[in-house]
Structure 1
Amino acid sequence: MKILIALTAMFFAFNSFSKMITKEVRYKMGDTYYKSQLVFSDKVPTNAPLVLMVPNWRGMTEGSLTKAKKVAANKYIVMLADVYGENVRPKNNDEAKVAATKMRSDVPLLRKATNKAIDILKEEGKKLKANQENIAAIGFCFGGGAVLESARSGKNLKAVVSFHGNLNTPDPKDAKNIKASVLVLNGAIDPAVPKEQIADFEKEMNEAKVDWQFVNFSGAVHSFTNPEANRKGRSEYHPVAAKRSFIMMNNFFDEVFN
Structure 2
Amino acid sequence: MRMLRGWCVGTLLFAQSVFSAGQAMAAEDVPLVNRLEGPQVVTETVTYRANGEEHVGLIARDAKAQGRRPGILLVHEWWGLNSYARKRAEQLAGLGYVVMAVDMYGGGRTAEHPKEAGAFSSAVMSDWPKAESSFNSALAVLRSRPEVDGERMAAIGYCFGGAVVLNMALTGAPLKAVVSFHGSPSIAVTEPEPFAGRVVIQNGAADTLVAQEDLDKLVATFQSLETRTTLIQYPGARHAFTNPESDAKAAKYDLPLGYDAAADSASWQVMLNLFNEVFKTPKKSVKT
- Quote the residue 1:145 is aligned against: 163
2: CA distance, partners of 1:228 / 1:16: 31
CA RMSD of aligned residues (A): 1.8
Q: 2:125 is matched with which residue? A: 104
Which TM-score applies when normalising by structure 1? 0.87
Spell out the pairing of 1:84-99 with structure 2 (5 A cutoff): 84-86=105-107, 88-99=109-120
Letter in 2 for 1:116: S
Quick one: which of 73, 77, 92 aligns to 2:98? Answer: 77
Superposed, which structure 2 residues align to 1:165-184 within 5 Å?
165-171=183-189, 173-174=191-192, 176-184=193-201
CA contact (8 A) 1:48 1:131 kept: yes
Q: Counterparts of 1:175-194 in structure 2 under 5 Å?
A: 176-194=193-211
Secondary structure at 1:248 match in 2 = helix
**Deviation (angstroms), 1:30:** 2.9
Q: Is the 8 A contact 2:48 2:54 kept in 1?
A: yes
Q: Does 1:42 align with 2:63?
A: yes
Q: Report if aligned partners of 1:25, 1:36 keep a CA contact under 8 Å in 2.
A: yes
Contact 2:128–2:189 under 8 Å retained in 1: no
Q: Residue 208 of structure 1 aligns with which residue?
A: 225
**Native 8 Å contact 2:159 2:181 kept in 1:** yes
Offset of 1:108 from its aligned partner? Answer: 1.4
* Alignment correspondent of 1:245: 267
TM-score (normalizing by structure 2): 0.79
Q: What is residue 154 of structure 1 aligned with on the other side?
A: 172
Equivalent position to 1:163, from 181, 186, 190: 181
**Contact persistence 1:24–1:37 (CA under 8 A):** yes
**Bigger shift: residues 132-141 or 38-47:** 38-47
Instruction: Assess, with a 3 A threshold, how the Cα gap between structure 1 residues 218 and 83 changes in structure 2: closer, same or farther.
Output: same
Q: Percent identity?
A: 30
**For 1:76 and 1:87, how far apart are their aligned partners in 2?**
23
| Paired AA for residue 123 in structure 2 | K
Structure 1: gaps of 5 or more residues = 1-14
The one-letter amino acid paired with 2:206 is: I
Residue 135 (structure 1) aligns with: 153
Structure 1 239/152 Cα, relative in aligned 2: closer, same or farther at 3 Å?
Answer: same
Tell whether the 8 Å contact from 2:194 to 2:226 is kept in structure 1 after alignment: no
* Secondary structure in structure 2 of the residue aligned to 1:27: strand
Q: Which amino acid aligns with 1:182?
A: V
Mapped partners of 1:114, 1:198: distance in 2: 23
Moved over 3 A (4+): 170-173
Query: Higher RCO, 1 or 2 (CA under 8 Å, sep at least 6)?
Result: 2
Does the 8 Å CA contact 2:169/2:195 hold for their aligned counterparts?
Answer: yes
Find the residue that maps to 1:34 and give its secondary structure: strand
Q: 2:244 aligns with which of 210, 227, 235?
A: 227
- Conserved? CA contact 1:34–1:86, under 8 Å: yes
Summarize deviations over 1:154-203 as a string: whole Å, max 9, x none: 221111000100112145750x3322211111111111111111111121
Give the conservation status (yes or no) of the 8 Å contact 2:81–2:108: no
Q: How does 1:22-37 map to 2 (within 5 A)?
A: 22-37=43-58
More deviation, 219-228/68-77 = 68-77
1:43 deviates by 2.9
Q: Secondary structure at the match of 1:254?
A: helix
Aligned to 1:10: none
Does the 8 Å contact 2:170/2:195 carry over to 1? Answer: yes
Q: Does 1:196 align with 2:213?
A: yes
Which structure's CA Rg is the greater one?
2
Q: Residues 114 and 86 (structure 1 numbering): CA distance in 2 closer, same or farther, change over 3 Å?
A: same
Matches of 2:37 and 2:243 in 1, distance apart?
23
Q: What letter corresponds to residue 106 of structure 1 in structure 2?
A: D
Whether the aligned pair in 1 keeps the contact of 2:51 and 2:134 (CA below 8 Å) is no
